[in-house]
């Protein structure tokens, strides 16, 4: 996809898909919200900061970004890439962005309202926690700050009737990062950035006569250049649209429910086992645990041992000053007996 004549079907399909996903996230009147297809959460977050920077610039302000201490590393990197000051880090003592601390930071930061972007998280990388979105949206409204929500991991909860309420307030964000190669079961790349107001995307407008000449655009040919920072790109909308069409909301929601149920079962298994310590009940489908009494070096050793033995691939996370083993359950075909077997494997990994 670089111009309509190269990819007419993909262009039409992408327009339908982005409109559908934008309405799913932001609700509101038809055509008010919009979305772009990206390569993933990292690019979506970058674009979100770029749109915020340009909006602030249009009002004569420099942009200051505020992120929770629990935010994804790509936000700080995006600020660096875009030549923005290093983001202000707002404490997240319980794993989620603290609204009182955010209020304080927004009050104390020098600069006019309209120059701030708050980036919250729905589905943190380490624990899958969702920031208090409604409180944060209220604070952003009160302080005139723009709100971005990085829902790369959590946005899939929108498909589930059971879990959707965990994202209450998401629709109030100005922009939202989705990553359908996580809870969406797409092969990479399947990133999305939604915006509440389609006019936000105007700043991406760009002309190249051989791709989107004014007279072609005026004659009604879709203009792809303003819908990505890339020129040629793969039609990633196709596989996403096929999945949505084949499974529907109910089908995807069932898969979300399934992995959340499996995570809860695994957490229960860990909690009931005297040889293990559970970090907390899973917020989405991530379970953090560690062998009871083990030190951090042993946690790292267990992970590497299982990896090099070729028996299991566990993640790791540094949280509350300690290292944890991390099981991010995203495969709906995982069976309860697989989880029992996993725990047995970890149990059998004693230090050298
Ligand atoms: C995965 C993730 C990202 C990065 O997404 P990529 O697709 O790997 O670029 C950003 N933010 C959060 C919260 C994530 O979970």
206-229: pLDDT as tens digits: 999 988 899 988 998 888 999 999
Between the CA of residue 307 and those of 43, 301, 350, what are the distances in Å? 29, 10, 14
Q: Kindly write down the DSSP assignment for every residue of 305-344, as one continuous string.
A: HHHHHTS---EEEEETTEEEEEEE---TT--HHHHHHHHH
Question: Two tokens at 102?
Answer: 């955010």
What is the model's pLDDT at position 186?
A: 97
- Per residue in 182-205, pLDDT (tens digit) is 999 999 999 999 999 999 999 999
The residue-averaged pLDDT of 281-286 equals 98
What is the model's pLDDT at position 163?
A: 98
What is the model's pLDDT at position 113?
A: 72
The CATH number assigned to the domain with range 4-235 reads 3.40.640.10
The residue-averaged pLDDT of 19-43 equals 93
Between the CA of residue 141 and those of 118, 164, 172, 174, 346, what are the distances in Å? 11, 23, 10, 11, 47
What is the model's pLDDT at position 272?
A: 97
pLDDT band, very low/low/confident/very high, at 21 (cuts 50, 70, 90): very high
- Per residue in 46-85, pLDDT (tens digit) is 999 999 999 999 999 999 999 999 999 999 999 999 999 9
- Tell me which DSSP letter residue 86 carries: P
What is the model's pLDDT at position 215?
A: 92
Question: Two tokens at 289?
Answer: 């645990």
Domain boundaries defined on the chain = 4-235, 249-348
Give the integer Cα–Cα distance in Å for 303 and 298.
Answer: 9
- Does ligand 1 have an atom closer than 6 angstroms to the CB of 87? no
pLDDT band, very low/low/confident/very high, at 351 (cuts 50, 70, 90): low
Residue 277 has pLDDT above 70, yes or no: yes
If one residue of 78, 153, 328 were mutated to test the ligand 1 pocket, choosing by the most ligand atoms within 8 A of its CB, it would be 153
What is the model's pLDDT at position 223?
A: 87
What is the model's pLDDT at position 110?
A: 81
What is the model's pLDDT at position 350?
A: 67
At a CB cut-off of 8 Å and minimum separation 6, what does 118 contact? 66, 67, 102, 106, 136, 139, 140, 145, 146, 147, 148
State the fold for domain 249-348. Answer: 3.90.1150
If one residue of 78, 152, 240 were mutated to test the ligand 1 pocket, choosing by the most ligand atoms within 8 A of its CB, it would be 152
Whether 68 contacts 92, CB under 8 Å: yes
CA of 278 to the centre of ligand 1 (A): 24
- Does ligand 1 have an atom closer than 6 angstroms to the CB of 72? yes
CA of 186 to the centre of ligand 1 (A): 14
pLDDT band, very low/low/confident/very high, at 29 (cuts 50, 70, 90): confident
Terminus-to-terminus CA distance in the chain, angstroms?
54
Nearest to 71 by CA among 51, 54, 86, 56: 86
What is the model's pLDDT at position 352?
A: 46
The residue-averaged pLDDT of 256-269 equals 98
* Average confidence score pLDDT of the chain: 95
Poorest-pLDDT segment among 43-52, 109-118, 228-237, 253-262: 109-118
Residue 30 has pLDDT above 80, yes or no: no
If one residue of 78, 127, 150 were mutated to test the ligand 1 pocket, choosing by the most ligand atoms within 8 A of its CB, it would be 150
């Amino acid at each position: 996809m670089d111009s309509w004549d190269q990819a007419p079907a993909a262009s039409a399909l992408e327009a339908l898909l982005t409109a559908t996903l934008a309405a799913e996230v932001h609700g509101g009147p038809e055509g008010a919200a919009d979305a772009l297809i990206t390569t993933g959460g990292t690019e979506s977050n970058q674009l979100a900061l770029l749109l915020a920077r340009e909006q602030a610039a249009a009002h004569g302000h420099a942009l200051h970004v505020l992120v929770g201490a629990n935010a994804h590393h790509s936000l700080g990197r995006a600020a660096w890439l875009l030549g923005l000051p290093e983001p202000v880090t707002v404490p997240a003592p319980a794993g989620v962005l603290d609204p009182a601390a955010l209020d304080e930071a927004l009050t104390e930061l020098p600069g006019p309202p309209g120059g701030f972007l708050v980036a919250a998280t729905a589905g943190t990388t380490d624990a899958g926690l969702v920031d208090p979105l409604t409180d944060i949206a209220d604070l952003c409204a009160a302080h005139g700050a723009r709100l971005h929500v990085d829902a790369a991991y959590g946005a899939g909860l929108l498909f589930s009737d059971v879990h959707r309420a965990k994202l209450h307030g998401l629709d109030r964000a100005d922009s939202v990062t989705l990553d359908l190669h996580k809870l969406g079961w797409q092969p990479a790349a399947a990133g999305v950035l939604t915006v509440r107001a389609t006019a936000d995307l105007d700043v991406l407008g760009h002309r190249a006569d051989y791709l989107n000449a004014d007279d072609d655009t005026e004659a009604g040919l879709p203009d792809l250049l303003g819908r990505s920072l890339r020129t040629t790109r793969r039609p990633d909308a196709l596989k996403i649209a096929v999945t949505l069409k084949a499974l529907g909301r109910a089908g995807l929601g069932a898969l979300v429910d399934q992995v959340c149920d499996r995570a809860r079962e695994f957490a229960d298994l860990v909690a009931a086992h005297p040889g293990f310590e559970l970090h907390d009940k899973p917020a989405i489908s991530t379970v953090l645990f560690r062998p009871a009494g083990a030190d951090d070096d042993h946690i790292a050793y267990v992970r590497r041992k299982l990896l090099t033995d070729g028996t299991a691939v566990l993640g790791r996370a540094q949280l509350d000053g300690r290292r944890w083993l991390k099981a991010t359950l995203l495969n709906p075909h995982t069976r309860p007996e697989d989880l029992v077997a996993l725990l047995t494997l970890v149990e059998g990994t004693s230090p050298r």
